Amino acid sequence: MARADVPTCSLDERLGDVRARVHAAGWDACVAINAQRIVLGLLRAAELEAAQDLRIERAMRPGPSTFRPFVSIEEMARVMAEHDLTSVPITTSDGRLVGLLRRQDAVRVARELEDGRPAEPGSGGKP
């Protein structure tokens, strides 16, 4: 369910370079990570529109809320809706990026499970 192909960036990159790469990939979010893929921050659409010369370290939302892969999709969808989160990184217990879960995907799969319809193949109802 979580998208592993989410764009990533490092703290020392320039926002303008990252924004171009993110938009070219068809995304509106980017996860800031270190060399070990530990999540350090998140850039959503609003952060991506900041001044192009800013370093990612200054533009990102540091220490974003994350979910672990074992959390049910229903719980993730509920929390994302309650807190108006458009996307949330999914990480391992040591903070390594697994992927990015989009609220629209979480809500859709949670509704399918609630209605007794099977979730899309491969989703398993969890990221």
Task: Yes or no: say if 113 and 119 are a contact pair by the CB < 8 Å rule.
Answer: yes
User: Cα(67)–Cα(88) distance, rounded to whole angstroms?
Assistant: 7
pTM, whole model, 2 decimals?
0.84
pLDDT of residue 31: 97
What the block records as the tokens of 21 is 């790469």
Average pLDDT, the chain: 90
pLDDT of residue 2: 86
For residue 55, pLDDT beyond 50: yes
User: Cα(61)–Cα(47) distance, rounded to whole angstroms?
Assistant: 8
pLDDT of residue 123: 44
Which tens digit of pLDDT belongs to each residue from 62-120? 999 999 999 999 999 999 999 999 999 999 999 999 999 999 999 898 888 888 765 55
Query: Vertex 127, ends 41 and 18: CA angle to 5°?
Result: 30
